[in-house]
Structure 1
Amino acid sequence: MDRGTYIEYHGRPAVRFERTYGHPVERVWEAVATPEGLAHWFPSAVALEPYVGGKITFSGDPNMEGTTGEVLEFEPPRRLAFSWSGDELRFELEAVDGGCRFTLINVLEARDTAARNAAGWTVCLAELGGHLAGEPVAGPHSESATPWRPVYEEYVASGMPSGAPIPGEEDEHGEQGEHGE
């Protein structure tokens, strides 16, 4: 499993992932920055207005209410950034020998969401990798996806900040978690 790392991004907590794919930047861009491409691996259905200041809408995630955000950067085929609830997602693509380096940075609203979100992105990125490899994928919420819980437990055991409510699970007060991957 390619693990994400906990970082500080401009003074805010974040988790960072880097993957290299044997495809041109334009192909990876289509997979990570269009609603059609995102449908294969992203945890929500996405509709976006492809310009800075445009609206981005998230729906269909069984663990989150639908919400909207704002496109913060849109520089095809190299950079996409947008707000999502209190978080910010940044996608950066760079041509490298033999393909494309894709970097995902999830700037977090709260430090204690790091392990939860890192586990979610690990599952999602496994689906992206399968999609780009031409394998049939059914998305991160499918039965065929990498199970989230063991990945989460590995991040917690490694010391990544944790403790945020888990969507769909009751906390010690009997309340359901509301947000996350």
Structure 2
Amino acid sequence: MTTTTGSYLTLDDGRPGVRFTRTYEKPIDRVWRYVTDPVDLAHWFPSTFEAGELSPGATIRFFDDPNMPESVGTIVAAEPPRLFSFTWGGDELQYDLEERGDGGTHLTLTNVLLSADAAARNAAGWEVCLLALDAADRGAPLTEDHTGATPPWKELYDAYTALGFPSGAPVPGMDEES
């Protein structure tokens, strides 16, 4: 059985999104590096991430993703170590970090979607990426490619579609471009 941890939502402004929450036994400053440091991002984020500075309006470059062309995004918000948000491929990614009383950290990833039909596709992708982050957090090696349209992504996509997440958006690396 495939386990899904994401939720589909409509934000207050009407935009669609998918959201994931994780809890790490690490302090907030360490989890902040998981979502902002290129060395840590390489363990789980699907593209190489390069930013000169982490401040609103700064440009981020994304590259070395076998299923996506090189692209740029813009940092929307950066409030270390609690909030980091940026645009990527027409979507917005937001990481919210909250300290727990026991020294651990809650991480919430919200992917605000350009189009609702990307919900199942993106939820499956973030699920795979976050599984890789969870493994890196535990110090476990990543045993399979965490990008692309191959299992476990396909199983997760099918599971999210079965849960009623909107679907139908093209899948990079799987659907032919028109």
Q: TM-score surpassing 0.5? A: yes
Structure 2: distance between partners of 1:146 and 1:38: 21
Aligned positions of 1:25-174 closer than 5 A = 25-48=28-51, 49-98=53-102, 99-137=104-142, 140-141=146-147, 147-170=152-175
TM-score of the superposed pair, with normalisation by structure 2: 0.90
Is the Cα–Cα contact under 8 Å of residues 115 and 160 in structure 1 kept in the other structure? yes
Q: What amino acid does structure 2 have at the position aligned with 1:41?
A: W
Q: What amino acid does structure 2 have at the position aligned with 1:42?
A: F
Q: Please, what is the CA RMSD of the aligned residues?
A: 1.7
Q: How much has 1:141 moved relative to structure 2?
A: 2.6
Relative distance call for 1:2 and 1:23 in structure 2 (3 A) is farther
Corresponding residue for 1:173? none
Aligned to 1:51, the other structure's residue is in SS state coil
Structure 2: distance between partners of 1:24 and 1:2: 26
Structure 2 unaligned runs (5+)? none
Relative distance call for 1:146 and 1:21 in structure 2 (3 A) is farther
Q: How much has 1:97 moved relative to structure 2?
A: 3.2
Is the Cα–Cα contact under 8 Å of residues 117 and 169 in structure 2 kept in the other structure? yes
Q: Deviations over 1:1-30 (max 9, x none)?
A: 351000012310000000111111111111
Is the Cα–Cα contact under 8 Å of residues 140 and 146 in structure 1 kept in the other structure? no
Is the Cα–Cα contact under 8 Å of residues 126 and 146 in structure 1 kept in the other structure? no
Is the Cα–Cα contact under 8 Å of residues 125 and 147 in structure 2 kept in the other structure? no
Structure 1 unaligned runs (5+)? 171-175
Identity fraction in percent = 46
Structure 2: distance between partners of 1:106 and 1:12: 10
Is the Cα–Cα contact under 8 Å of residues 81 and 88 in structure 1 kept in the other structure? yes
TM-score of the superposed pair, with normalisation by structure 1: 0.89
Q: Deviations over 1:90-137 (max 9, x none)?
A: 001000133100000000000000000000000000000011111112
Structure 2: distance between partners of 1:16 and 1:131: 20
